């Protein structure tokens, strides 16, 4: 096997650095270092998610004229993420003049061949999982210039690259359109589901229910482990939940960390029990989920923990924290210039509806009856999207390696 490629690849393999010019972006410079330095807009790895939408997520740094010439990007340039979601790619649309790249991005310009083919080849490597190992993405991976330049890339004749790219442009556009349509349905269903939950949690008929601060219903509101944990990571220790694991009314456990038992015990007061509510403290502030029985006695890293008093159902209160006045409260109360934050006192003051236990139980039953079909439809659509994306990735890999026969390709 040639790195990420199967042994049956039909085209010669060459190192990426031999077929394109690579340029890592400029280190962030928040202040001028010379009189001639001037502010310029820059792209970073976090900008890639917005490239398909209207406008750009552009910030500013200082750079000299020489640096602007070195790091400038233009329409049609291929950029690759160096850090974070390393290996993610984008072909740049029209960009404002003199936009440069920060050093979380590489710029690739082929010396021969088709830039679209190069992007599809890198996309195939990205989805193969090869970069997870190469860049140690289990922590915070980096796709260095050396690693990127050494990546093995299929290298058919330039004319064949153009034919393959044309074919993939047409076929992937069909898949992408179908995925987009299904995601639009998911969004519509989720909006309807959210409105239904809000009505059943916060309203009694046509009247808004009375509200109290969350602290009135809680025996504990605390923050999880707030010290460095990397030295205590363990393969078979105690689950450590992070903000990335917390979704509104659900926990995503696809990527979890574990810490050694001795370290978890040293923070025994932070243990999380079944039925506790975890709330995101930084980023998507206020998003909350109930801890299930199979995560009893887990820990979390700097997230907020609520233990309710008897007579309150965590699932009902969690629905409240994720909807209506509570969500608006978190939106307005979150502080911080880079990312929104909330604290224990802010969470303690969050509004929740004052409903007796039997009313909470009745509300949960109504929510399940009203939203169950919508939630199941959303799950089905998401599975269909996942299947389409997997097939798209396999389709692209087969095309760039020659396993998929394209009649116009000379071979």
State the DSSP string of 243-269: GGGEETTEE--SS-EEE-HHHHHHTGG
Residue 347's pLDDT is 97
Looking up tokens 């979150």 gives 334
Higher pLDDT, 302 or 411: 302
Residue 240 in tokens? 């450590």
Check pLDDT > 80 for residue 54: no
**What would the pLDDT profile of 344-360 be if each residue is shown by its tens digit?**
999 999 999 999 999 99
**Whole-structure pTM value:** 0.78
Residues in the chain: 411
The residue ranges of DSSP E strands in 196-287, in sequence order, are 203-204, 207-208, 211-213, 218-223, 233-241, 246-247, 250-251, 257-259, 277-279
Burial of 349 (0-12, 13-18, 19+ CB in 10 A): middle
76 φ, ψ to 5°? 95, -10
Residue 171 contacts residue 296 (beta carbons within 8 Å): no
Looking at every residue in the chain, the average pLDDT score rounds to 92
Model confidence pLDDT, tens digit, residues 231-273 = 999 989 999 999 999 999 999 998 899 999 999 999 999 999 9
CA distance 114 to 341: 45
Beta strand 233-241 pairing with 299-300: parallel
**Residue the block writes with tokens 């209160």:** 317
Instruction: Give the tens place of pLDDT for each residue, 66-92.
Output: 999 999 999 999 999 998 788 999 999
Cα 248 → chain centroid: 15
- Bridge partners (DSSP) of residue 72 are 100
Is residue 385 pLDDT above 50, yes or no? Answer: yes
* pLDDT confidence of residue 66: 96
Say whether domain 210-354 belongs to CATH 3.40.190.10: no
Q: Decide if pLDDT at 50 tops 90.
A: no
pLDDT of residue 63: 96
Residue 109, H or E segment? strand 105-110
Mean pLDDT for the stretch of residues 27-32: 93
d(CA 408, CA 148): 30
> Given pLDDT bands bounded at 50, 70 and 90, which one contains residue 1?
very low
Give the mean pLDDT of 359-366: 96
Count the neighbouring beta carbons within 10 Å of the beta carbon of residue 87: 25
Name the nearest CA neighbour of 404 among 71, 168, 174: 168
Residue 225 has pLDDT above 60, yes or no: yes
Per-residue pLDDT, averaged over 110-138, amounts to 87
pLDDT tens figures, 125-173: 999 888 887 776 544 578 999 999 999 999 999 999 999 999 999 999 9
Q: Residue-wise over 316-347: b if at least 16 C-beta within 10 A, else e? A: bbbbbbbbbbbbebbeebbeeeeebebebebb
pLDDT in the model for residue 2: 52
Segment 187-212, tens digit of pLDDT: 999 999 999 999 999 999 899 999 99
Token pair for 141 = 């991976």
Evaluated on CA atoms 165, 170, 171, 172, the torsion sign reads positive
For the segment 375-402, the average pLDDT, to the nearest whole number, is 95
Contact at 8 Å (CB) between 22 and 149? yes
Question: What whole-number distance in Å separates Cα of residue 343 and Cα of residue 112?
Answer: 54
Does residue 75 contact residue 95 with C-beta atoms inside 8 Å? Answer: yes
Which pLDDT score is estimated for 337? 59
Contacts of 297 (CB under 8 A, 6+ apart): 238, 271, 272, 273
> How much is the pLDDT for 56?
67
Q: Looking at residues 40-49, what average pLDDT do you find?
A: 87
Q: Long-range contacts of range 67-73, CB-CB < 8 Å, 24 or more positions apart?
A: 67/26, 67/100, 68/40, 68/98, 68/100, 70/23, 70/26, 71/23, 71/25, 71/26, 71/42, 71/100, 71/101, 71/107, 72/98, 72/99, 72/100, 73/43, 73/99, 73/100, 73/101, 73/107
CATH for the stretch 13-155: 3.90.220.20
């Amino acid at each position: 096997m040639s790195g990420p490629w199967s042994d049956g690849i039909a085209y010669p393999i060459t190192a990426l650095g031999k077929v394109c010019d690579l340029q890592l972006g400029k280190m962030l410079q928040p202040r001028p270092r010379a009189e001639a330095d001037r502010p310029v807009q820059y792209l970073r790895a976090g900008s890639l998610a917005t490239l398909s939408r209207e406008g750009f997520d552009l910030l500013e740094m200082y750079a000299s004229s020489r640096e602007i010439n070195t790091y400038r990007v233009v329409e049609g340039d291929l950029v690759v993420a160096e850090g974070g979601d390393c290996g993610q790619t984008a072909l740049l649309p029209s960009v404002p003049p003199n936009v440069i790249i920060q050093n979380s991005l590489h710029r690739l310009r082929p010396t021969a061949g088709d830039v679209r083919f190069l992007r599809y080849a890198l996309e195939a490597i990205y989805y193969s999982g090869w970069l997870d190992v190469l860049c140690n993405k289990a922590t915070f991976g980096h796709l260095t210039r050396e690693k990127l330049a050494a990546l093995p890339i299929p290298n058919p004749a330039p004319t064949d690259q153009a034919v393959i790219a044309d074919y993939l442009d047409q076929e992937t556009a069909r898949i992408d359109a179908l995925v987009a349509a299904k995601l639009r349905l998911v969004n519509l269903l989720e909006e309807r589901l959210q409105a239904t939950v809000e009505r059943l949690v916060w309203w009694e008929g046509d009247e808004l229910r009375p509200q109290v601060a969350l602290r009135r219903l809680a025996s504990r509101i605390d923050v999880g482990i707030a010290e460095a944990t990397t030295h205590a990571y363990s393969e078979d220790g105690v689950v450590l939940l992070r903000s990335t694991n917390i979704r509104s009314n659900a926990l995503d456990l696809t990527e979890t960390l574990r810490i050694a038992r001795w370290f978890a015990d040293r923070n025994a007061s932070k243990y999380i029990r079944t039925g506790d509510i975890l709330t995101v403290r930084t980023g998507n502030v206020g998003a909350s989920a109930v801890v299930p029985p199979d995560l009893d006695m887990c820990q979390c890293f700097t997230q907020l923990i609520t233990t309710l008093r008897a007579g309150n159902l965590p699932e009902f209160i969690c629905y409240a924290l994720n909807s209506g006045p509570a969500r608006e409260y978190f939106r307005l109360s979150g502080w911080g210039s880079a990312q929104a934050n909330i604290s224990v006192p802010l969470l303690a003051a969050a509004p929740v509806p004052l409903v007796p236990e039997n009313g909470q139980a009745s509300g949960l039953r109504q929510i399940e009856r009203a939203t169950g079909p919508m939630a199941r439809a959303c799950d089905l659509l998401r599975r269909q999207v996942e299947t389409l994306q997997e097939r798209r990735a396999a389709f692209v890999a087969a095309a760039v390696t020659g396993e998929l026969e394209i009649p116009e390709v000379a071979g």
